[in-house]
Amino acid sequence: MAARTRQHYDEHCDEPSQVLPEYTETLPGSRVRGLRQLGVQKHYPICHLERKIRRLNTDEYEYRPAYYEEILCTASSNDDVTSNNEICSSLGFSCVQWNKTIHLTRRRYSSDCWETKTMVIPAGCECMWPVHRLGDINLHV
């Protein structure tokens, strides 16, 4: 039964338009939310990001949640990306990788016993002040 469920799950995971509900944090559509969005300005990241969904289920283990989103700082040859990373470096800053700890549970398909597991995953990238090169930012402000 677990193998059939896993096969059914894997068949549908590669669909590009699939919404992954476990980490989707959205408010229900409401008039108030729509009004709040009218005044929001759009911001673009200065550092180039690469987002990937990492699926965790294997032939041996079932995980909850079954996947996580990885956000990596990347260097690319794309002109837009290079110019964005150059904006950060021309200011004297650096694109810095952020990580976070996530908590998971897993079990062998042959068992009803769940165990906890933690992972440190890449979670974002920001253009930041390099203290090791420029010193304390408060001295420059």
**Is residue 32, in this structure, part of any structural domain at all?**
no
CATH number, domain of 126, equals: 2.10.90.10
Contacts of 15 (CB under 8 A, 6+ apart): none
**Is residue 124, in this structure, part of any structural domain at all?**
yes
**Is residue 25, in this structure, part of any structural domain at all?**
no
**Is residue 141, in this structure, part of any structural domain at all?**
no
**Is residue 129, in this structure, part of any structural domain at all?**
yes
**The pLDDT value given to residue 58:** 96
Burial class, 81, CB count within 10 angstroms (exposed 0-12 / middle 13-18 / buried 19+): middle
**Is residue 95, in this structure, part of any structural domain at all?**
yes
Our count of domains for the chain comes to 1
Domain that holds residue 126: 42-133
**Is residue 140, in this structure, part of any structural domain at all?**
no
pTM > 0.75: yes or no: no
3-state secondary structure of 12: helix
**Is residue 128, in this structure, part of any structural domain at all?**
yes
Q: Which helix (H) or strand (E) holds 14?
A: none
**Tens-digit pLDDT string for the chain (141 aa):** 555 544 444 444 444 445 555 554 454 555 555 555 566 777 777 888 999 999 999 999 999 999 999 999 986 544 444 455 677 877 778 888 999 999 999 999 999 999 999 999 999 998 887 766 666 766 666
- The total number of residues written for the chain in this structure: 141
